[in-house]
Copies of this chain bind each other. A is one copy, B any other.
Amino acid sequence: MTTIKDIAKLSGYSIGTVSRVINHNPDVSEEARMKIEQVIQQENFQPNSNAKQLKQQSSSAITIIVKGYENMFFEGILERVQAILRDSGEEVAVAFLDEYANEVQYALQLCTAKKPKGFIFLGGNLEFFKQDFARIDVPCVLLTNTAESLHLPNLSSYTTDDRLAGYQVIEYLIKAGHREIGIIGGSASKVGSQVGFRRMQGCLEAFQENHIPYNEETNYEPSRFSMQGGYESTQRLLKKNPKITAVFAIGDTIAIGAMRAIRDMGLRVPEDISVIGYDGIEYSRYCVPRLATVHQDTDALARKGVEDLLLRLNYSHPVTHEDVPFQLVEGESVAAPRDH
């Protein structure tokens, strides 16, 4: 293996100077830089990251923490994030956690064990960030939730405007003629920091503004972000409230389960029950019927998140909190209710 020593010998400079060239230290003569870079090129030299990290007392890996299994939406972002990071030459570690696990606690643990140089959270519960994030001292980015209100010094966040999107979904269903609308997904709305809470807030606003009654008891059912969760919750919801004509599943994965449940109850989508999802995963464009949904801009989320992290990793750059645009896709799964 070629080491910095070889490069030093070959270039005629000391390893100190070679190290400076590698790390873009400005205190190197143009001449030395040229020569050393040429040798590095020619030898195809890669600095040993273990040695580097040992000195710098940190690991080279950026860790991506994904909340929830079988979450196709997050997996789409994950793939993008990983690809961009890889192209930037960064090492990427990935951890999948249960959607109810404490991701900040987990990150904290990793910090003492492996000292990653940064984190990207795919999904996150603000409550956990409020409690424990202060002890994390590496740059972090939260995707699909906003941490603006927390004012943490090393946490950026990028998200869809969930409140607005939730509002538009309900408005859309109301305009289609629905009055008895069910909502599925997320934990009980009291838990103010889970994904889905802001979506729910937007929904409530839309109900109020349109004077449509909404009763959490009869029109809401919590669900995990999974097909099975959606399946079971939908059955419970429609059993306890048979008047419902439209269902808003706050994740496409949930919506898939919902559509299957409706079908298994002998009803049809959208003729008997309309369904609208959230996320805009690829599958929403292929299922039968095509799913109405809120399409989140996976690409922008991934790109902005990574750019932000890289910037803050390498320079002193302020944290950012930004909404990325979304799009309500009409699909084929929403129709006017039967009676209208």
Residues 95 to 117 of chain A near chain B (Cβ within 8 Å) = 95-96, 112-115
A96 to B287 CA separation, bound complex (whole angstroms)? 25
Name the distance in Å between A7's Cβ and chain B's nearest Cβ.
15
Stretch at the interface among A43-51, A191-199, A205-213: A43-51
Stretch at the interface among A136-144, A176-184, A215-223, A252-260: A252-260
Q: A49-B114, A260-B288 are in contact. Are A95 and B92 (CB under 8 A)?
A: yes
A92 and B94: CB pair below 8 A?
yes
B288 and A263: CB pair below 8 A?
yes
Name the distance in Å between A240's Cβ and chain B's nearest Cβ.
22
- Which B residues lie within 8 Å of A259 (CB)? 286, 288
- Which B residues lie within 8 Å of A96 (CB)? 79, 82-83
A93 and B61: CB pair below 8 A?
yes
A192 to B257 CA separation, bound complex (whole angstroms)? 38
- Which B residues lie within 8 Å of A112 (CB)? 1, 44, 46
Specify the chain B residue showing the minimal Cβ separation from A44. Answer: B112
Q: A46-B112, A94-B92 are in contact. Are A282 and B82 (CB under 8 A)?
A: no
Interface string of A25-59 (1 = CB under 8 A from B): 00000000000000000001010111101100101
B114 and A95: CB pair below 8 A?
no
A288 and B288: CB pair below 8 A?
yes
A13 at the interface (CB under 8 A from B): no
A288 and B287: CB pair below 8 A?
yes
A57 to B86 CA separation, bound complex (whole angstroms)? 22
